[in-house]
Amino acid sequence: MGNSVSIDALRSEMWAKELYANVMDNLYFTNKNMMGTGDNNLVKVKDDLVKSNGDAINFGITYKLSGDGITGDETAEGNEEAITPYHQKVAIDFIRNQVRLTGKLDEKKNSYDMRSDAKNKLSIWLQEYIERQIFMKAGGVTTTTLTDVNGSVYSGRAAWSNSAAVVPQVDEAAGSGDRYICACATGLDDIAASDVLTVDMVTEAKVKAQLANPQIRPIKIGGMEYYVMFVHPYQAADIKKSTSNNTWFDAQKDAALRGEKNNIFTGALGIWNGVIIHEHSYVPTCQSASAFGVGGEACNARTFRALLMGQDALCYANANNNGEGFVEETFDYKNKVGYSTGFMGGIQKATFNSLDYGIITVDSGATDL
């Protein structure tokens, strides 16, 4: 009786597909129903370059109609309203990381499966890389030397694939703008740790989104309209300690959050005035005397950049072809094995006519320092 055996190349290809699927399934934005090919997503996905070649993908977005229409028996022909199209070009790039094991003897000595561990670590690395890119692009981060609250540089790859559209320096200096709010009324050059994020600022950000021209469109869930706001854990702590007339915890008594089954609510900090608030450690932060964007306003104290998002806030271009960039290789007469993982694509914030299409930026200090 003959035994059926698999082929090394096919096993490697299967691993590649499974790894990329695992990365995508575990992305925060995918897992929370915030990312997809449809319009009702914060992150719009296109896979055009998976089937064809090219160096960029163009995302087309159109504004809603604003005309008055016609009445009675007025002639419709010749009175059509033109739809205004805009496009966001997203350049693609390639990012990779790799692991090589020492050899079969070293694998034998260890009590855990080193190969599975290597694959798992690479999957986590790529997931975190993509998430970090999404937040940096959304926050207009182009400075490559920004540090997190632990003092580690996190923005070294800020320029990968596309340079994010920055928040206008004039807005950062003034402390306000059409799509910008600063907890310090006199701007980032005067911001202090005591200038914390409040629920009133969340309300103000929503109003700016609603009145923006063009309007930042909310996402629709169960017939209701919501915006989504991402805050840093330090900002989340200040919101929870809010002592305004309508305290945070009083507002969370609303049963809508607990009863809604959509994953976008799962793990959310809560809802405030129709804004679903999520905390995430990758929300951009900037140390004192630095700026989020090259040429931007320098922060007087460590600053945290909360992001209120609506539909099509970001564009995600996928050019991976059947897991391209995910490779298993052997060395030294098959004694050593190595794995490489990567992503070919691009990420960019949707910006039209020099305006963020789907994001309100909210800067604040934090007391939990």
**243-297 per-position pLDDT tens digit:** 555 567 666 665 455 556 677 888 888 888 899 999 999 999 999 999 999 999 9
| pLDDT of res. 360 | 98
Total count of residues recorded for the chain: 369
**Mean local confidence (pLDDT), 6-23:** 60
Q: In terms of domains, do 104 and 231 share one?
A: no
DSSP code of 156?
A: T
Segment 93-110, tens digit of pLDDT: 999 999 999 888 888 888
Q: Are 325 and 340 in contact (CB under 8 A)?
A: yes
Question: Which tokens is 66 given?
Answer: 């604003």
**Mean local confidence (pLDDT), 127-143:** 97
Q: In terms of domains, do 279 and 332 share one?
A: no
Least confident of 40-49, 164-173, 330-339: 40-49
pLDDT band at 213 (very low <50, low <70, confident <90, very high): confident
* Residue 323 belongs to domain spanning: 8-66+82-128+315-350
Say if 340 falls within a structural domain: yes
**Mean local confidence (pLDDT), 304-333:** 86
Range of 71-75, 77-81, 191-195, 323-327 with top mean pLDDT: 191-195
Say if 306 falls within a structural domain: yes
Q: In terms of domains, do 238 and 277 share one?
A: yes
Q: Are 262 and 33 in contact (CB under 8 A)?
A: yes
Distance from C-alpha of 282 to C-alpha of 280, rounded to nearest angstrom: 5
Q: In terms of domains, do 244 and 342 share one?
A: no
Q: Give the total number of structural domains in the chain.
A: 2
| pLDDT of res. 208 | 97
Say if 2 falls within a structural domain: no
| pLDDT of res. 255 | 40
| pLDDT of res. 253 | 62
| pLDDT of res. 4 | 39
**Mean local confidence (pLDDT), 344-349:** 92
**Mean local confidence (pLDDT), 148-177:** 96
Q: In terms of domains, do 213 and 360 share one?
A: yes
Average pLDDT, the chain: 85
Q: In terms of domains, do 222 and 197 share one?
A: yes
- Tokens 């999404």 belong to 134
- Run of H or E residues at 317: strand 314-318
Range of 10-24, 158-172, 333-347 with top mean pLDDT: 158-172
Say if 94 falls within a structural domain: yes
- Run of H or E residues at 58: strand 56-62
Q: How many CB atoms lie within 10 A of CB 45?
A: 19
**Mean local confidence (pLDDT), 175-201:** 96
What CATH number did the domain enclosing 116 receive?
3.30.2400
| pLDDT of res. 363 | 98
Any long-range contacts for 296-300 (C-beta under 8 Å, 24+ apart)? 296/140, 296/143, 296/166, 296/167, 296/169, 296/172, 296/188, 297/169, 297/172, 297/173, 297/187, 297/188, 297/189, 298/188, 298/189, 299/188, 299/189, 299/191, 300/184, 300/188, 300/189, 300/190, 300/191, 300/192
| pLDDT of res. 54 | 64
Closest CA relative to residue 361, chosen from 307, 311, 313 = 307
pTM (2 d.p.): 0.87
pLDDT band at 7 (very low <50, low <70, confident <90, very high): very low
Q: In terms of domains, do 176 and 288 share one?
A: yes
Q: In terms of domains, do 190 and 56 share one?
A: no
**Mean local confidence (pLDDT), 234-240:** 92
Q: In terms of domains, do 208 and 345 share one?
A: no
DSSP code of 150?
A: T
| pLDDT of res. 161 | 94
Q: In terms of domains, do 121 and 177 share one?
A: no
Q: In terms of domains, do 116 and 213 share one?
A: no
Say if 288 falls within a structural domain: yes
The answer on pLDDT for 56 being more than 90 is no
Q: In terms of domains, do 32 and 178 share one?
A: no
> Greater confidence, 274 or 87?
274
Say if 76 falls within a structural domain: no
The answer on pLDDT for 347 being more than 90 is yes
Any long-range contacts for 144-147 (C-beta under 8 Å, 24+ apart)? 145/290, 146/284, 146/285, 146/286, 146/287, 146/290, 146/292, 147/285, 147/287
292 Rama class: left (phi>0) / alpha (psi -120 to 50) / beta: alpha
Say if 177 falls within a structural domain: yes
The answer on pLDDT for 53 being more than 50 is yes
> Greater confidence, 214 or 257?
214
Least confident of 35-44, 185-194, 316-325, 340-349: 316-325
The values of phi and psi at residue 85, to 5°, are -95, 150
Say if 229 falls within a structural domain: yes
